[in-house]
Chain A
Amino acid sequence: MARAKTEQQPATGATLISMVGLSVAFLLFMAFLNVVKQGNILSEANLLFAALIFYAGAGALYLGFGVTGTESYVKFASLATWAGLLANTGAAVHRWYQAGHPPFASVYEMLLSFVWTLAALTLIAEKRYGVKVIGTVTMPIAIVGVVLMQLLRTDVKPLVPALQSTWLHVHVTLAMLAYAACALSFALAMMFLIQDRVKTETFLAATSLFAVGIYAAILTRFENWGGLSVTAWDAQEKSEMFLSRGVRLFVTIPDLGWLMLIVLVAVAAPFALYVIARIKKNDAFIVTANRALFVSILLQALALIFFFLRAQNGSYSSLDAEGLYATNLAASPFILSGLIGGIFASLLYLLLLWRRPDLERLLPDADTLDRITYKTIGIAFPLLTLMIAAGAYWANRTWGSYWNWDPKETWAAITWLVYAGYLHMRITRGWRGRRAAYFAILGFAIVMFTFFGVTYLLPGLHSYA
């Protein structure tokens, strides 16, 4: 993606805008032809597809802005974001109307809401705080979100009794808002570090470690003969298969584990080289590390392609039950987002590596970023508190106790404690700048673990989401 953009760099502002505009128009026209055949314009799928097209257009323009710094891109990019947000709102409202409950009950519905919040926050950050380049990060995430939604189930599932509560909506809305605010504070902290002249190779090491974390998490399902276990998918029910309540049935895709292991080594290589460079104080290793990261992107893409080919509509045997079971990409949303997330982070690093001076010119100054990061956490922390409180109240009405030490609850409390630590260090001990930024990044990493990791790795009462 980043490479394609560099080739476009000599093009003037008008060229990219008209190219993106034309492709958006073309895609909408094609979609319209398809819709005419179906005879149903305002369906959820169509609205979501429109949102995808607009977000993609906005993403391309924001990336163009991130790379070239042409101001006029931003205007059209936010216009496209507005259009995408509108379509996204339509899809969410349609879903709400059809299901009879706000769209927070399944992974699909939560993604729908998450992408919506992300787009809305992007516009707020841009208009209110002038952080124009933020779309470069958030729009690709929104695109990945919408693509994931296309793979996940789309049919309306009735709510199980425990979820039929107003508190579900209160709890999940607060969670989404809090997590989105945490995501924003993370992005701002990253930008602060760029403005604060943190060495580019430090970002390289961080990117590499992030990818290592993803592949290590994926490889927790590595079976000893080289397979990779994924959840089985029931095509009729359009849901994951369960052995018993809360216990998913896993099937093993042969040999995919080896590939993931190779990619793990490849993504770990830049970090290893970085460490060697630090120990030997020889910058030549950094150059090699950058090359290794480039190689790792190719391998990561390969892993994604193979995962896509093997997991989509394949049938494999299971270690826990006899016979062959089908699986589907929709059964492994976390692996899929992990793989895409790793590639995305690496590409963002390439953007930083190649275009750092431009980025520094475009971003607000370090002090402003530091202050906005703190402000965002000042919004996120009360939201987290309320989210936990609403969840506790609801749990008290449903499970019979306000606190069950369920892994999701415990991790929510851990998130809360980490941000509480951040606030104390900042307010009473005057932590500013880098240390505060690292703390904000740690906080967001824990948020992501609470959101994805706990669901994927640790079973518990929160088995629906």
Chain B
Amino acid sequence: MALSFRATTRKIWHTISAVKTGVVLILLAVVFSAAGTVILQRPMTDPEEMQRAYSPRMLHILDAAGLTDVFHTRWFIALMVLVSLSIIAASIDRFPNSWRFFARPYKSADENFLRVLPSYAKIPVPDEERGLMAAERAFRKLGWKAERIVRSNSFSLFVERHRISEMAVYVVHASLLLIFLGGIVDAVYGWRGFLMLTQGQQSNSVALREGATRNLPFAVRCDAAGEETYTDGSPKRWWSKLVVLQNRREAQRKEISVNDPLVYGGLRFYQASYGSTGKLAQLTLTATPSNGTVGARDINLALGQTMALDSETSVQLAEFIPDYIVVDGHVYTRTSDVANPAVHLVVTSPNAKAKTNSSVNVWLPEIPGLGENQQSPYNFEAKDLKIGYFTGLQVAYEPGQWTVWAGVILMGIGLTFVFYVVHSRFWVVPVRDGLGGVTLWVGGSANRNRDAFEQRFQKVVEKIKEELHAELQTRPRRTEATFAGK
């Protein structure tokens, strides 16, 4: 029974660590992700549009299956976890073999090993020592370092480069896991929200996507916000001048724009939108006394503000209607766009008969039936309207993002090694035949890009022959008996 349990575990392990399982899981992830792009997703779509696109029954089924929010459902996350497990298992399963290969390279070869290599060549040499020295020189001139391997009765050479490339695939797998880890951290601990500020306003409560609000330990104030446009009127740049207030003291100040967020305390504030609040920031009026005693003057008014026009008369800006319409003697606004604005002023002046102050309603433009513009001691003319603007800030907290970037960089390095760094090895073994002659067997192998390696191998062989030729030219047979007797 115990054996069968062990057999079962081993079987499960083999299944998880199999490349085929990994590829099947990848394909499943592909299919579900594709479904998530074809079916409308709740987080990105208005509820009304969902209802328009699908019948209630269909919507019910889709919701139940989690297909309206594929990327956040439990089973998609479970699939991602399975993919991660598969990567880990496959790496663990293969790692010991690779590690043995990496830690204890096969250096000492014999002719039987060389014979099965894809690239090998035989070069006749006068004796072992001179053959090996020529080969060493050849490698050195090509920029490789040859290592002398002592065998029981002779020497051989081993040359290799970029052994690290054998490990690269684990680096890539580790980087992918890092990216997943960062994504999971962000999915669990991260949040995103929206903060809307008008000029001069400060706030610390962020409206989260899910509808809740979150209070920050600091406040953000918007000092100014604006839009720059191209000559054709299309937007060129949106910006906001933000100040971070920690305990009412200024902690940081930055002008942000699209593509250039403010970062404070791990939070990022992005310029997301910009627009008119439909509310008046400042109104400039020209006031002229009706009786013409004093000259005209310009005054600036904010909403609700009262200003003295002379020692007795004052004017208050009571209402601002951005897009007015009169229905049944009442003023309404149609939209919040400043399309057809109207202002309501209240002019207060002493009433000689009643010995009290009396107020007169002035509407600009004059609205018949409501405005008492004729009775006002002053005539007003609107000169300029300054509308208030809001800046929409997207707030994101993503503690996992640095893990993700680390993973991305690691993956870049790993992939470079996987595809472009070749582990190439050469063995040079002197082989004696029965007749007393010595032949240098040169073998080579590379873990990828074999045709380029074949060319390099041929070059090495040519170089060794060249060196051998030079050796024989300059130094004729000298120490013939050195190794012959061994």
Contacts and interface: CB of A to CB of B under 8 A. Distances in A.
Interface of A: 157-158, 160-162, 164-165, 371, 375, 378-379, 381-382, 385-386, 389, 392-394, 396-403, 405, 407, 410-411, 413-414, 417-418, 420-421, 424-425, 428-429, 454, 458, 460
B41 A405 contact: yes
B394 A400 contact: yes
B20 interface: yes
Contacts of B33: 410, 413-414
Given A401-B396, A405-B36, 10 more contacts: A161-B257, A164-B259, A386-B412, A400-B192, A400-B261, A403-B183, A405-B41, A424-B23, A454-B37, A458-B37
11 contacts: A371-B451, A385-B415, A393-B405, A393-B408, A396-B401, A397-B270, A398-B258, A400-B261, A405-B36, A411-B34, A414-B34
A114 B5 CA distance: 58
Nearest to A383: B415
A382 B416 CA distance: 8
Interface in B336-382: none
Contact of A162 (B259, B398, B449): B259
B29 interface: yes
Contacts of B48: none
Interface stretch (B132-140, B141-149, B234-242, B309-317): B234-242
B113 interface: no
Contacts of B41: 405
Contacts of B37: 407, 410-411, 454, 458, 460
A428 to B, nearest CB: 5
A45 to B, nearest CB: 21
Contacts of A410: 33-34, 36-37
B119 to A, nearest CB: 16
Interface string B385-426: 000000000111010010011001001100110010000000
B258 A429 contact: no
B306 to A, nearest CB: 40
Contacts of B416: 382
B192 A401 contact: yes
B270 A158 contact: no
Nearest to A425: B23
Nearest to B269: A400
A386 B270 CA distance: 24
A410 B270 CA distance: 23
Contacts of A418: 26, 30
B61 to A, nearest CB: 21
A421 B23 contact: yes
Contact of A381 (B34, B230, B259, B415): B415
Given A396-B401, A400-B270, A405-B41, A420 B26 contact: yes
Given A371-B451, A405-B71, A161 B258 contact: yes
B38 A382 contact: no
B19 interface: yes
A78 to B, nearest CB: 24
Nearest to B404: A402
Interface in B240-286: 257-261, 268, 270, 272
A402 B187 CA distance: 12
Contacts of A386: 412
Nearest to B449: A375
Contacts of B398: 396, 401-402
Contact of B230 (A158, A379, A382, A389): A158
A381 B419 contact: yes
B447 to A, nearest CB: 10
Contacts of B322: none
B232 interface: yes
B73 to A, nearest CB: 12
Given A164-B259, A398-B259, A429 B19 contact: yes
B22 A164 contact: no
A417 B26 contact: yes
Interface residues of B, number: 48
Interface string B302-344: 0000000000000000000000000000000000000000000
Contacts of A385: 411-412, 415
B27 interface: yes
A389 B37 CA distance: 20
B257 A421 contact: no
Contacts of B230: 158
A458 to B, nearest CB: 5
A426 to B, nearest CB: 11
A385 B411 CA distance: 8
Contacts of A389: 408, 411-412
A398 B260 CA distance: 7
A379 to B, nearest CB: 8
A162 B258 contact: yes
Nearest to A422: B23
Q: 9 smallest A-B Cβ distances: which pairs?
A: A161-B258, A407-B37, A158-B230, A400-B394, A400-B270, A400-B396, A405-B71, A389-B408, A382-B415
A428 B408 contact: no
A401 B404 CA distance: 12
B33 to A, nearest CB: 5
Interface in B97-138: none
Contacts of A403: 183
Contacts of A400: 192, 261, 268, 270, 272, 394-396
Given A389-B412, A414-B34, A420-B26, A397 B232 contact: no
A386 to B, nearest CB: 7
A378 to B, nearest CB: 5
A401 B43 CA distance: 14
A160 B261 contact: no
Given A428-B19, A429-B20, A158 B234 contact: yes
A375 B448 CA distance: 10
A431 to B, nearest CB: 10
B258 to A, nearest CB: 4
A407 B37 CA distance: 5
Interface in B197-236: 230, 232, 234-236
A392 B400 CA distance: 14
B29 A417 contact: yes
Contacts of A413: 33
B325 to A, nearest CB: 23
A236 B451 CA distance: 57
B26 A421 contact: yes
A378 B419 contact: yes
Contacts of B396: 400-401
Contacts of A165: 259
A382 B259 CA distance: 26
A402 B402 CA distance: 11
Contacts of B404: 392, 402
B259 A158 contact: no
A386 B175 CA distance: 14
Given A165-B259, A400-B270, A413-B33, A160 B412 contact: no
Nearest to A378: B419
A458 B19 contact: no
B150 to A, nearest CB: 35
A397 B412 contact: no
Given A382-B419, A402-B401, A160 B234 contact: yes
A414 B235 CA distance: 34
B88 to A, nearest CB: 15
From A399, A402, A425, A429, residue with most partner B Cβ within 10 Å: A402
A382 B23 CA distance: 19
